Structure 1
C-alpha cells in the first residue's frame, strides 16, 4: 500500500470535505458518523483514511459544531438552509476551500458513513481526471455510482452555486451531466469476512451490524 508520505507528495492542490450534513433518517436520526464501529467512532476512521490523501480537510455538518470538537477539524454548516442534499454540502465545502485554501485546484469529497473507502482514492481519481481531461470524477463499484465520493474542480464553484441556489437543483447526477465527468471503478476488497464493497455505507442499523463483521476482519 502507498504510504501516507508518498500520497502527500503525489497529491497537488487538493482539499477535502467530509459530508455529514444529512438527517440520518434511515438510521433513526442523530449523527451516523459518531456511532461506534469496531470500538471507534466511524468519523475517526473516515478522517484516518481521508486526511493523508488531501491537504486542508473540513467537516460539513449542521447543528452545534461542539459535538465534533474531539476531531480537531473545522466544521462548516450548509450554506443553504433546509437540508438541501449533497450538492449543498459540496458547495459548502467549495466555499470553505475558496476562503481557507485558495490555491486548491480540486476538492475531494467523502461520505461520513462509509468507513472502508480506498486509501488511495484521491490519487487514482486525479490520474483519471488528467487522462480524460475531466473536471469531475465519480467513484464506482459493483456497477453502481457513488457520486458523494468524488473529485470536483474548484473552477466549477460558481456554476454549482447557480444550479443549487437559483435553479434549486438537488440531484447530483443532473448537475454533473452538464460537465466532463469521468467515473473510476474500484474493486471489492477481499477480507476474512468475504468481499467488501469499498463504498459500503452504514445507512441503517442492519448495515452497521454488517459493518462490524468487516471491521473485525483484517482490512
Structure 2
C-alpha cells in the first residue's frame, strides 16, 4: 500500500545533516570536513550555509568526533561498520533526529545553495513523495537530499543488503527533482588537494561568493 505524502516540510520540521563520514582517500586520508579553506574548516563553510535553512544541525562523522563536536552540533557515527558510504550516514542521522525531515549535504561542498531547502521543498510539493534531490543541470546530486523519517526502515534494509549507491536508492523512491542548473558550481566538491588549491586560490579569506538568482526568481 502506498504511503500518503507527508505534510510539506518547513524549516522548523527539518534537521540539517552534514555528511563527513568518509575516508577522504583522494585527499590523502585527511578528514575533509576539517581541512582548512580560506581560514576556516570546510565543515564550518557548510554549517554557515545550511544552518539558516533548518531548525538544527547534525554532523555525521566516523572520525575525530571531538573536533566536530566543538562546532556545536551533535555528532553521530555510522551504525554500519567499514565506512559504508553516505547512505549509512543518512541512516544514522535519521535514527538520531527528532524532526520528521532531514536535509543532507556533504561536508566538502562549501558553496552549497542558500535556498537548498526551499527549492527541494517546492519540488516535493509539485511532484509528490517523501524524497527530493538536487539536479545541477547535467547530473542528479542524490546526497543533496530532503527526505522523510519514514524512509528509514527501507534505507536500513537497502544498506543491509550490501547496497551503497545513493542514486539507485533514490530511484527506488521516485525522488522528486529540483533544478539547480542556474548554480551548478554550488555542487562542486573538493575531493583532492588540487581541487582544494584551485578553490582556495579564488577566495578572499573568510568569504565565499554568493549564489546567482535563477531567472524565474528575479524581479521583473
TM-score bracket for the superposition, by shorter chain length: 0.7 to 0.9
- Whether the 8 Å contact between 1:188 and 1:198 is mirrored in structure 2 is no
Once the two structures are TM-superposed, the CA of residue 142 in structure 1 deviates from its matched residue by 3.7
Q: 1:117 aligns with which of 112, 118, 121?
A: 112
- Whether the 8 Å contact between 1:142 and 1:197 is mirrored in structure 2 is no
Secondary structure at 1:184 match in 2: strand
Structure 1 distance, partners of 2:89, 2:193, is: 24
Structure 2 distance, partners of 1:208, 1:55, is: 30
Secondary structure at 2:113 match in 1: coil
User: Which residue does 1:133 correspond to in 2?
Assistant: 128
Matched, 1:197 2:185: yes
- Whether the 8 Å contact between 2:100 and 2:149 is mirrored in structure 1 is yes
Once the two structures are TM-superposed, the CA of residue 152 in structure 1 deviates from its matched residue by 1.1
TM-score of the pair, normalised by structure 2: 0.85
Structure 1 distance, partners of 2:12, 2:122, is: 11
Structure 1 unaligned spans of 5+:
1-8, 190-195
User: Which residue does 1:215 correspond to in 2?
Assistant: 203
Matched, 1:86 2:86: yes
Once the two structures are TM-superposed, the CA of residue 157 in structure 1 deviates from its matched residue by 0.8
Secondary structure at 1:197 match in 2: helix
Structure 2 distance, partners of 1:136, 1:108, is: 10
Once the two structures are TM-superposed, the CA of residue 12 in structure 1 deviates from its matched residue by 4.3
Secondary structure at 2:203 match in 1: helix
User: Which residue does 1:5 correspond to in 2?
Assistant: none
Change (3 A) 1:69 1:178: closer
Structure 2 distance, partners of 1:93, 1:85, is: 13
Structure 1 distance, partners of 2:75, 2:170, is: 25
Cα RMSD (Å): 1.8
Structure 2 distance, partners of 1:218, 1:149, is: 20
Query: Bigger CA drift: 180-189 or 143-152?
Result: 180-189
The residue correspondences of 1:52-63 to structure 2 (distance < 5 A) are: 52-63=52-63
Change (3 A) 1:218 1:132: closer
Structure 2 unaligned spans of 5+:
1-8, 211-220
| Per-residue CA distance 1:174-203 (angstroms, 9 max, x = gap) | 2112112112121344xxxxxx61111110
- Whether the 8 Å contact between 2:133 and 2:178 is mirrored in structure 1 is yes
User: Which residue does 2:5 correspond to in 1?
Assistant: none
Structure 2 distance, partners of 1:188, 1:41, is: 26
TM-score of the pair, normalised by structure 1: 0.85
Secondary structure at 1:169 match in 2: coil
- Whether the 8 Å contact between 1:107 and 1:154 is mirrored in structure 2 is yes
